[in-house]
């Protein structure tokens, strides 16, 4: 059962233990900062080398406990070691923001199958690997938890040259629904946030020149999203204010998928 907790509208995370995978920058970096601002202790997990530095900055800025752990989500032993290290550091895990990501654009007739498989390995199987390891820890703890994964607007509509990415993110939406269904019994909410293009390294990589200006034109809000706007949706799905929402994929797209 996912319990009712009195809703204050404060979006408070004081004393919670959170993991942000993909926390080395972009949407993950903003999410980690938002969690820390709301009082959570935060583990920064990423395959990048900057994890300890990001964790240290966050602790200094917000006075919470942090830890930085380098981990490749395609490696089972690294994921298991990382989850164990977070439990060692914080005693428990209450929240998982699961947002590692990979994109390589190519038309469906030309894309290399290895590139398709890499999308699936990171964006779908890698994300599930972390969900499974963390959910097992949450189930052991016996007091529920929150899992939020970043999906994409590409779940809802076809976008040119996105076949590998879309296959991986559509798989993620299915995973979110099944995990939400099965883990509600343990008080665990599992949700997705589906952004439009966001101004990050990945957003810049995929959208340049004419495709960028055409895309901005096609978004009713007439701009790309900023990382804190996505982190705010993740925060909502990470606190008690959203206890009655599970298995959802919350679109944050400036209206792009209305049509």
Active-site residue set: 165
Q: Least distance in Å: CB of 105 to ligand NAD? A: 12
The residue within the footprint of ligand NAD, chosen from 101, 144, 192, 254 (CB under 6 A), is 101
Using CB under 6 A, which of 17, 51, 69, 73 touches ligand NAD?
Answer: 73
Contact flag: residue 164 with ligand NAD (CB under 6 A): no
The answer to whether 86 and 131 are in contact (CB under 8 A) is no
How far apart CA 8 and CA 6 sit, in angstroms, is 6
Name the region of 168 (left: φ>0; alpha: ψ -120 to 50; beta: rest).
Answer: alpha
254 binds ligand NAD (CB under 6 A): no
- Beta-bridged to residue 128, according to DSSP, are none
Q: How far apart are CA 145 and CA 223, in angstroms?
A: 34
Q: Which of 126, 144, 187, 192 binds ligand NAD (CB under 6 A)?
A: 126
Under a CB-based contact definition with an 8 Å cutoff, are residues 118 and 73 in contact? no
Q: Summarize the chain as % helix, strand, coil (round to 5).
A: 50, 15, 35
The span from the CA of 224 to the CA of 199, in Å, is 6
By CB under 6 A, the residues from 131 to 160 that bind ligand NAD are 150, 152
> Does residue 122 interact with ligand NAD by CB under 6 A?
yes
User: In the numeric block, which tokens belong to residue 224?
Assistant: 């790309």
Stretch that binds ligand NAD, among 58-66, 99-107, 108-116, 132-140 (CB under 6 A): 99-107
Work out whether 106 is an interface residue with ligand NAD (CB under 6 A). no
Q: Which of 74, 132, 141, 243 binds ligand NAD (CB under 6 A)?
A: 74
Copy the structure tokens of residue 72.
Answer: 């490749």
- Residues from 30 through 59 that contact ligand NAD (CB under 6 A): 46-48
Rounded-to-integer distance, Cα 133 and Cα 33, Å = 24
Count interface residues toward ligand NAD (CB under 6 A): 28
Task: Give the interface with ligand NAD as residue ranges (CB under 6 A).
Answer: 22, 24-28, 46-48, 71-74, 99-102, 122, 126, 150, 152, 195, 197-198, 200-203
């Amino acid at each position: 059962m996912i319990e009712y907790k009195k809703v204050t509208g404060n979006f408070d995370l004081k004393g919670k233990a959170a993991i942000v995978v993909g926390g080395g920058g972009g949407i993950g970096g903003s999410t980690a900062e938002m969690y820390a601002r709301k009082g959570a202790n935060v583990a920064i997990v990423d395959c990048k080398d900057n994890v300890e530095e990001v964790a240290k900055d966050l602790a200094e800025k917000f006075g919470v406990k942090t830890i930085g752990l380098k981990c490749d989500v395609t490696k089972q032993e690294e994921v298991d070691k990382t989850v164990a290290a977070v439990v060692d550091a914080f005693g428990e895990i209450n929240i998982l923001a699961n947002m590692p990501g990979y994109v390589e654009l190519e038309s469906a007739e030309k894309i290399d199958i290895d590139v398709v498989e890499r999308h699936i390995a990171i964006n779908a199987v890698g994300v599930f690997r972390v969900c499974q390891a963390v959910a097992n820890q949450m189930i052991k703890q016996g007091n529920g938890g929150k899992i939020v994964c970043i999906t994409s607007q590409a779940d809802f509509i076809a976008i040119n040259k996105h076949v590998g990415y879309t296959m991986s993110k559509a798989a993620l939406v299915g995973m979110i629904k099944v995990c939400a269904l099965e883990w509600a019994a343990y008080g665990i909410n599992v949700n997705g946030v589906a952004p439009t293009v966001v101004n990050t390294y990945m957003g810049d990589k995929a959208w340049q020149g004419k495709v960028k200006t055409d895309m901005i034109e096609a978004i009713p809000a007439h701009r790309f999203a900023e990382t804190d706007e996505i982190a705010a949706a993740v925060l909502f799905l990470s606190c008690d204010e959203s206890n009655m929402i599970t298995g959802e994929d919350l679109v944050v797209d400036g209206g792009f998928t209305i049509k």
